[in-house]
Structure 1
Amino acid sequence: MAETQQGPRARYREQTRAEIKEVALRQLAEGGVGALALTRIAKALGLSGPALYRYFANRDDLLSALIRDAYDDAAAAIGEAATARDRSPRERLRVLAGAYRAWAVSEPHRYLLIQGSPVPGYVAPDDTLARARAVLGPFLPVFAGGSPGTDAASMVDRMTAWLETDAGVGSWVAEYAPDAAGDVRASAVALAGAVLVWAQLHGAVGLEVAGQFAGMGHDGESLLAAQNGMLADAFGLE
């Protein structure tokens, strides 16, 4: 009986939390993190300040919820693109990178929330790392079977050392690239590719989302395609 009585209350709580996040996202879209104001959110929803704090303890608590949601949605978008496993590694790289860019361009304020400048004084929750790795995870099997050239050799060495000092990294590789599990070389190559593609994606997509390509004679899609091709060549992806 107690569970039945709590059901509607719990649903109302989740609905109100969702409405608070929706207003917060509008504020982010209008003015970035600096525009996030709990008092204005409460006013928009017809809540008192103390009532709002029943749903989120403070601004950072709300910010953490928005960050978790952004990572989860980005991971879902890339995970959906990762289902096309019958394609070549080079083509899968193109599809995954395109899905990442498409999500970021369609949700620029949320992309900048997780990949933009750090918020002064804000400390992200511990579970953010796992969510960030879920976004990059589908790229790991793309590179696991690659044959990196000399330009990427130092990066592979770095990733080998990382595997030796952080067991969690090996578990991450095993989750997304099980064929590389237990193979230090293949795991290090997968990691090197994933880290490098993340850096390239962040650079190209971040510039595009920030509007830095205006008047430069190219667009985000063509730049990303060129970068994907160079990275695929560097890892010998077919």
Structure 2
Amino acid sequence: MGAQTLSRRELYREQTRAEIMTIGLRQIADGGAEALSLNAIAKEMAVSGAALYRYFAGRDDLLAALVVQAYEDLARSLEAATARRHRSGPARVHAVAAAYRAWALGQPHCYRLVFSTRLDSGRLASDEIVLASQRSMNVFLDALGSLSPHPGSSGRAVTPALAAQLEAWHRRSTDPALPPETLRLGVTCWTRLHGIMSLELDGHLQATNIDPGLLYRAEVEDLIG
């Protein structure tokens, strides 16, 4: 009986946490991360503000949970895009890049949440967030590692200092060791595609009359080349 009662409590707790996060994410969709408010969530749920602290230590704790949730959703989207293992290396990179853009366009509030939220407040710079973000990066690295000839074979050497920093960064991952050239290409791919996506989502490319989709695809082709 005791174990059964505990199970019900845990189920109720998970359901309540999920409801809090759903309302919080809706607040972010409407007004950005700054709009996240525990008091407003409590009011919508018709409970006291103090009641929410049974589920989250504070606003930063809730924000961190939402960042992790968004990263995990992004990773699932990217992993689904590479499910067809028989694809060639370039096709896999294109599939991952296309899934990345589709996820950003479909959920711009989640994209901004993970890439525009400051993560230096202690509560937000957690190992959980690092692991969640690395999961999606690993999909990029796996696709880039399948390219042939191997990335970096063009003679663009990675300096020892940069190679050491790339390896230290990658040690946070559980993936097998990758060459510095692949790690560098992964970071380059992420930063360049993120730059285009940020400009597109914020409307900065409209004045150029350039199709963001064509620009994005050209950038992927350049990275593969």
Normalised to the residue count of structure 2, the TM-score between the two structures is: 0.88
Conserved in 2, the CA contact under 8 Å of 1:33 and 1:119?
no
Conserved in 1, the CA contact under 8 Å of 2:74 and 2:100?
yes
Q: Which residue of 1 aligns with 2:110?
A: 110
Question: Which residue identity does 1:125 align to in structure 2?
Answer: S
Q: Whole-Å Cα distance in 2 between the matches of residues 212 and 14 of structure 1?
A: 40
Give me the identity figure in percent: 37
Conserved in 2, the CA contact under 8 Å of 1:140 and 1:194?
yes
Q: Whole-Å Cα distance in 1 between the matches of residues 168 and 8 of structure 2?
A: 48
User: Which of 192, 195, 203 is 2:184 aligned to?
Assistant: 192
1:210 matches 2:202: yes
Deviation for aligned residue 1:149: 5.4
For 1:17-65, what per-residue CA distance to the aligned partner results, in whole angstroms no more than 9, with x for missing partners?
1111111111101111111111111101111111111111100110011
1:153 matches 2:154: no
Q: Which residue of 1 aligns with 2:222?
A: 230
1:10 matches 2:36: no
Conserved in 1, the CA contact under 8 Å of 2:94 and 2:220?
yes
Task: State the SS of the aligned residue for 1:154.
Answer: coil
1:130/1:87 Cα in 2 relative to 1: closer, same or farther (>3 Å)? same
Q: Which residue of 2 aligns with 1:84?
A: 84
Q: Which runs of 5+ in 1 are unaligned?
A: 175-180, 234-238
Task: State the SS of the aligned residue for 1:127.
Answer: helix
Q: Which residue of 1 aligns with 2:131?
A: 130
Q: Whole-Å Cα distance in 1 between the matches of residues 169 and 203 of structure 2?
A: 37
Deviation for aligned residue 1:214: 2.0
Question: Which residue identity does 1:4 align to in structure 2?
Answer: Q
Deviation for aligned residue 1:151: 7.3
1:227/1:164 Cα in 2 relative to 1: closer, same or farther (>3 Å)? closer
1:165/1:78 Cα in 2 relative to 1: closer, same or farther (>3 Å)? closer
Deviation for aligned residue 1:150: 5.2
Counterparts of 1:29-44 in structure 2 under 5 Å? 29-44=29-44
Deviation for aligned residue 1:117: 4.7
1:28/1:18 Cα in 2 relative to 1: closer, same or farther (>3 Å)? same
CA RMSD of aligned residues (A): 2.3
Q: Report how many aligned residue pairs link the two structures.
A: 221
Conserved in 1, the CA contact under 8 Å of 2:89 and 2:144?
yes
Task: State the SS of the aligned residue for 2:219.
Answer: helix
Task: State the SS of the aligned residue for 1:153.
Answer: coil
Conserved in 1, the CA contact under 8 Å of 2:151 and 2:185?
no
Q: Whole-Å Cα distance in 2 between the matches of residues 53 and 38 of structure 1?
A: 9
1:164/1:116 Cα in 2 relative to 1: closer, same or farther (>3 Å)? closer
Q: Which runs of 5+ in 2 are unaligned?
A: none
- Between 1:133-142 and 1:59-68, the stretch displaced more is 133-142
Normalised to the residue count of structure 1, the TM-score between the two structures is: 0.84
Q: Which residue of 2 aligns with 1:177?
A: none
Q: Whole-Å Cα distance in 2 between the matches of residues 115 and 151 of structure 1?
A: 32
